[in-house]
Amino acid sequence: MQPSFYQPASVVIGPAYSPWFKMLATLFTFGLIAYGVSFSMRFSLEAYGWGVILLMLAALALLLVSFYGFLHSTVTIDDRGIKQTWVINRQVLWPDIRGAKMIGIPRAGWLSPPRLVVRTGTAFYTFNGGTEALLTEFARISLAYEMKK
Contact 129, 20 (CB under 8 A): no
Same domain for 83 and 141?
yes
Torsion (CA) 34, 40, 42, 46 in degrees, nearest 10: 180
Q: What does the pLDDT read at residue 26?
A: 96
pLDDT in tens, 52-102: 889 889 999 999 999 999 999 999 999 999 999 988 899 999 999 999 999
Rounded Cα–Cα distance for residues 52 and 129 (Å)? 37
Same domain for 62 and 77?
no
Contact 63, 33 (CB under 8 A): yes
Domain range enclosing 35: 20-69
CATH number at residue 142: 2.30.29
pLDDT in tens, 14-25: 999 989 889 999
The structure's pTM equals 0.83
Total tally of structural domains belonging to the chain: 2
pLDDT in tens, 94-133: 999 999 999 988 877 667 788 999 999 889 999 999 899 9
Pick the closest to residue 74 from 7, 8, 133 (CA basis): 133
Same domain for 129 and 96?
yes
Residue 85 within a domain = yes
Contact 125, 117 (CB under 8 A): yes
